[in-house]
Amino acid sequence: MSAQEPQLISDPSGPAPGLLESKRRGGGGRPGFVWFVGAGPGDADLITLRGWRVLQKAEIVLHDSLVDPALFEDLGAECVFVGKRCGEHSMSQEQIIELLIGLALQGKRVVRLKGGDPAVLGRLGEEALSVADAGIGFEVVPGVTSSTSVPELAGIPVTHRSLADSFVVASAHRCAEGAELSIPPYLARTTLVLMMARATATEWQQQLLREGYPPELPVALISRGATEQQRVVVTSVASAATDLQAAGLETPVLAVVGRVVSLRAHLASRPIDSAEERIHCQ
């Protein structure tokens, strides 16, 4: 760790009041800049090189909950937690946008750090539009999306020439009260990836059956993917909700539905056996 260690603000009782108050006073100088950066699916090593370089420029980092804390080591930036987990929000979306714009108007170099890729169910659109409307310069730095990387790290490619030639990524949370999830009708050669799948498991399981998904179709439930705490439960459409609950899987949980799940038995990573191989992989 460097002598200038970042200050992590993670009190869920409310937003960082000092920053909000200072931004209301205004800087009166040249506007700063905002980078929207994808941190990747879990392990800090999976951030892009561009994303890592941008982090080194930041004065303030507003980060979500699914970001590896190792990324904050040796940064000369103030790190502010603005994450959301299972309905518990440290800030509302409106407060996050207000803080983001206010800091940039003070002339700060701000990184908005999001897990995975910021444009895949990461609210990039509404935050970037607000920044653009405020006349603030910004750049998007794509990240490795968990929707495809978490399955493949668990031994499940979302496409395979003999099994699936397309895939659909959908949120397992409704966008409007009373609306159904955006689950397409069953197609044998399409893999379905459901993000944030734990809380609504019973609902999406029932909707899969209504949409014609065979009860015996394989489902992989991946908890805390791309981290050392990763757990994978392979089940079926008929048993998915029951098995998820019985396994006690922790959020975030991603569900992969389709024939490609059968490949995990052959493609799941295996421990390195020889010292020579271990050296080459480091």
Which residues are designated catalytic? Answer: 64, 84
89, containing H or E segment: strand 88-89
Tell whether the torsion through CA atoms of 147, 123, 35 and 57 is positive or negative: negative
**In one letter, which amino acid is 112?**
R
Cβ proximity of 237 and 209 under 8 Å: yes
CB atoms within 10 A of CB 221: 25
3-state SS track over 138-167:
EEEECCCCHHHHHHHHCCCCCCECCCECEE
Distance CA 18, CA 210 (A): 51
Residues in the chain: 282
Cβ proximity of 7 and 77 under 8 Å: no
Distance CA 121, CA 145 (A): 10
Tokens for 150?
A: 């978490």
